[in-house]
Structure 1
Amino acid sequence: MKVLVSGATGLVGSELVPSLTSQGHEVLRLTRRQAEEAHDIRWDPSRKELPKGRLEGTDVVIHLAGENLSQKRWSPQFKQTLRSSRIDATRFLCETLAQLKSPPKTLIAASAVGYYGDRGRDLLNETSPPGTGFLADLCKEWEAACEPARAEGIRVVNLRFGVILSPKGGALAKMLTPFKLGGGGVIGSGNQYWSWIAIEDVVGAIQHCMTHEKISGPVNVTAPSPATNYDFTKTLGSVLNRPTIVPMPAFVARTVLGEMADELLLSSARVMPNRLSETGYRFAYPSLEPALKHALAPQPAKH
């Protein structure tokens, strides 16, 4: 298939693109930087710049681009940047796709389990209502921004990502240094659920959604065994063979990180991947300990 990917150099995109290419798909990359290769297409959502002609005849669009949530404290200005990089950019892309003579059959767009907000021990699936808070509102509007594509008859899949396990970036990469130094520990009460997913299963789930034409709407991209922060902490410490005795009380997390602490670290979302399971997706890493062992295994040296 001819596949267009935005966010191709990000945490997910950098794993997805080589996987798609190895399967024989032709991959075009939407980039905000200067196009360096023939397969690169430069776009600038803030200026509404995107060469329509280059998108004609694309079979699938996988839209992963968006500013990193944990890049800095959530000042009013940065929250606006987060909204613009997700909601405005997604709407512009979808409006452009809807105007093509030959629009893609499928749009697979990123979202997050932040959609559900802080829900304690409730078991959540794709039919659960949205929560409250900045992240929940952001995810709700982010998904709604796909409406121009959906209205044009494009099959739209909204991927609600959990905490992605990769040593190359995201939450796990940030946790490794303190844990390796013996400074890791439970955050807040430790009772909050973290819905996690191995990076291999993120790539697998995207490809599953590409080929299963009956899948549309929200899809939880999380492993079937969400863990409490306490269990996550103890398992990570065990895999790294390090103690986990330095807790981070909630007030310290809030002092250091502000509002982001409540929404990313202290809130609880016990999310189940019902749509993936119902449509026959087989998880490579359904359990946390094997997933962490694989993610943190020494990488073979490149010659």
Structure 2
Amino acid sequence: MKVAISGATGLVGQRLVDRLHKSHDVVVFTRSEAKAQKVFPASRYPNLKIVAYTPKTSGAWQDNISGCDAVVNLAGAPIAEQRWTASYKQEILSSRQVGTEKIVEAIAKATDKPKTLINASAIGYYGTSETATFDETSSLGNDFLAEVCQKWEAAAEKARESGTRTVILRSGIVLAKEGGALTKMLLAFNTFVGGPLGTGQQWVSWIHRDDLVSLIETALQSDAWQGIYNATAPNPVTMQQLSEALGSVINRPSWLPVPGFVLELLLSDGAKVVLEGQKVLPSRTQTAGFKFGFSTVKEALQDLL
């Protein structure tokens, strides 16, 4: 199989490339060839092709989609890394919506069209709640992230017009020791000032990075997979429970909560990602037969740490 991947140098993309490159040809779309060459040296990745691309602009890079069996689109500006200024909110949206539109445009123009598109999305689609439970049948939320996810997914769905099987994975918080939310929490815990962020009662719908990569692989290989699937472990936890599990695994106290206003000062509206949660279940994912390697957060943390 020949697989094109955007967002390949990111937290999930790197692990996906590591899994695929030994038995498949991989095409990496990147905004920085130098970074991609550093992350994926030719000596270790002989079957990998690096293509420089402009994700929000049509160009010659799109020709490299033709002849690929599948495309995995993981690209998008980080959600919780900086303040949500008006301009950055536009970047969060356009990097996903327009970036996906250009991938789908390339699929439509391809002489030899990919059979499959796996497109990232997020559980932000459902909005936030401390009391509701969501699955793939739940309706759209009414906040900014819900709007982003709706437009992101709508752009991906147009690939069906080219006869391309389209799978959309709505992921929760990805747990990995190399980056993301877990790394930020570890900084506090390792200096003995760890604890829940905000009230601690908000839900955290999470997934081990290796399970997310396995989910992508399953979606690539199974023609029966089409449409929306939640990429979250079957046992979501509250922030308080996550903090207690983390403290237990690394033998650190988890008693000192981080007040919500501190995160709001740092991230503005971006604090919503960790201060307001949602309880999301992977109902359709499990019905399709996917088996999670890490079903409980303590199992996941023990493996990672």
Q: Please tell me the TM-score bracket, short chain as reference.
A: over 0.9
Give the equivalent residue in structure 2 for 1:291. Answer: 300
Q: 1:159 aligns with which of 169, 188, 191?
A: 169
Deviation, structure 1 residue 45: 2.5
Task: Give, as a single letter, the amino acid of the residue that structure 2 aligns with 1:286.
Answer: S
CA distance in structure 2 between the aligned counterparts of 1:76 and 1:211, rounded to whole angstroms:
40
Deviation, structure 1 residue 54: 2.2
CA distance in structure 2 between the aligned counterparts of 1:161 and 1:229, rounded to whole angstroms:
17
CA distance in structure 2 between the aligned counterparts of 1:9 and 1:126, rounded to whole angstroms:
28
TM-score normalised by the chain length of structure 1: 0.93
What SS does structure 1 have at the residue aligned with 2:68? coil
Matches within 5 A, 1:1-303: 1-22=1-22, 24-34=23-33, 39-261=49-271, 263-296=272-305
CA distance in structure 1 between the aligned counterparts of 2:85 and 2:58, rounded to whole angstroms:
25
Deviation, structure 1 residue 272: 0.8
What SS does structure 1 have at the residue aligned with 2:33? coil
What SS does structure 2 have at the residue aligned with 1:158? strand
Provide closer, same or farther for how the CA distance between residues 52 and 248 of structure 1 changes in structure 2, counting only shifts above 3 A: closer
TM-score normalised by the chain length of structure 2: 0.92
Kept in 1, the 8 Å contact 2:30–2:53? The answer is yes
Task: Give, as a single letter, the amino acid of the residue that structure 2 aligns with 1:99.
Answer: K
Quote the RMSD (CA, aligned, Å).
1.5
Equivalent pairs: percent with the same residue?
Answer: 40
CA deviations on 1:2-34 (whole Å, 9 max, x unpaired) are: 111111110001100010123x11111111123
CA distance in structure 2 between the aligned counterparts of 1:21 and 1:148, rounded to whole angstroms:
28
Kept in 2, the 8 Å contact 1:44–1:50? The answer is no
Deviation, structure 1 residue 212: 1.7
CA distance in structure 2 between the aligned counterparts of 1:88 and 1:141, rounded to whole angstroms:
9
What SS does structure 1 have at the residue aligned with 2:51? strand
Gaps of 5+ in 2: 43-47
CA deviations on 1:53-72 (whole Å, 9 max, x unpaired) are: 32222111000111111221
Gaps of 5+ in 1: 297-303
What SS does structure 2 have at the residue aligned with 1:27? strand
CA distance in structure 2 between the aligned counterparts of 1:233 and 1:43, rounded to whole angstroms:
40
CA distance in structure 2 between the aligned counterparts of 1:182 and 1:10, rounded to whole angstroms:
29
CA deviations on 1:190-241 (whole Å, 9 max, x unpaired) are: 1111001011101110011111212111111110000011101111111111
CA distance in structure 2 between the aligned counterparts of 1:7 and 1:246, rounded to whole angstroms:
35
What SS does structure 2 have at the residue aligned with 1:12? helix
Provide closer, same or farther for how the CA distance between residues 246 and 25 of structure 1 changes in structure 2, counting only shifts above 3 A: same
Task: Give, as a single letter, the amino acid of the residue that structure 2 aligns with 1:33.
Answer: S
Task: Give, as a single letter, the amino acid of the residue that structure 2 aligns with 1:29.
Answer: V
Task: Give, as a single letter, the amino acid of the residue that structure 1 aligns with 2:95.
Answer: S
Task: Give, as a single letter, the amino acid of the residue that structure 1 aligns with 2:8.
Answer: A
Deviation, structure 1 residue 275: 2.1
